[in-house]
Amino acid sequence: GNSVTQMEGPVTLSEEAFLTINCTYTATGYPSLFWYVQYPGEGLQLLLKATKADDKGSNKGFEATYRKETTSFHLEKGSVQVSDSAVYFCALSRKETSGSRLTFGEGTQLTVNP
Using CB under 8 A, which of the segments 14-22, 66-74, 77-85, 97-105 binds other proteins? Answer: 97-105
The answer to the question of residue 93 lying near other proteins (CB under 8 A) is: yes
| Whether the Cβ atoms of residue 67 and residue 92 lie closer than 8 Å to each other | no
Three-class SS state of 17: coil
Q: What count of Cα atoms within 13 Å lies in the side-chain half-sphere of residue 44?
A: 14
Binding residue for other proteins (CB under 8 A) from 24, 72, 85, 104?
Answer: 104
Binding residue for other proteins (CB under 8 A) from 44, 75, 80, 112?
Answer: 44
Q: At a CB cut-off of 8 Å and minimum separation 6, what does 51 contact?
A: 32, 33, 66
Q: Which residues bind other proteins (CB under 8 A)?
A: 4, 32, 34, 36, 41-46, 49, 51, 89, 93, 95, 98-107
